[in-house]
Amino acid sequence: MAKILRSTKQRPAARRTPTPARVPELDRLIHERIRLAVVSALAVNDSLTFSELKELLQTTDGNVSVHTRKLEDAGYLTCTKSFHGRVPRTEYRLTAAGRKALQHYLDHMEALIEAMKARPQ
């Protein structure tokens, strides 16, 4: 059997590039593609119905339902259910907290883009 020899000599520390101050985390709730699309669409419209969101996003009822529920639970949008005649109508509006979260997200993304542009090649 071969004996494995291990060196007790320490290797020099690898060169580390200085890192800037810790970059804050992205808002994972908004960062997801469908939820970002919902929040963005509501930012430029006073309100949108379930059907309008579904058509705009070209996705399924289930996707719209799940993602809007998560945004509603976070306080980023409100959901109002009513009837138009005998037809149910679900309408969504962006809240002040949702607008603030979207603006923070966009500012964060712009800062990341600018940092990458300023980075030496």
Gap between the Cα atoms of 68 and 60, Å rounded? 12
Say what the pTM is.
0.76
The answer to whether 67 and 34 are in contact (CB under 8 A) is yes
Residue 6 lies in a domain: no
Structural domains of the chain, count: 1
Residue 20 lies in a domain: no
Query: Which domain covers residue 55, as residue numbers?
Result: 28-118
What is the full per-residue pLDDT of the chain (121 aa) written as tens digits?
Answer: 555 444 445 544 444 444 455 556 788 899 999 999 999 999 999 999 999 999 999 999 999 999 999 999 999 999 999 998 999 999 999 999 999 999 999 999 999 888 888 888 7
Torsion, Cα of 84, 45, 30, 105 (10° steps): -160
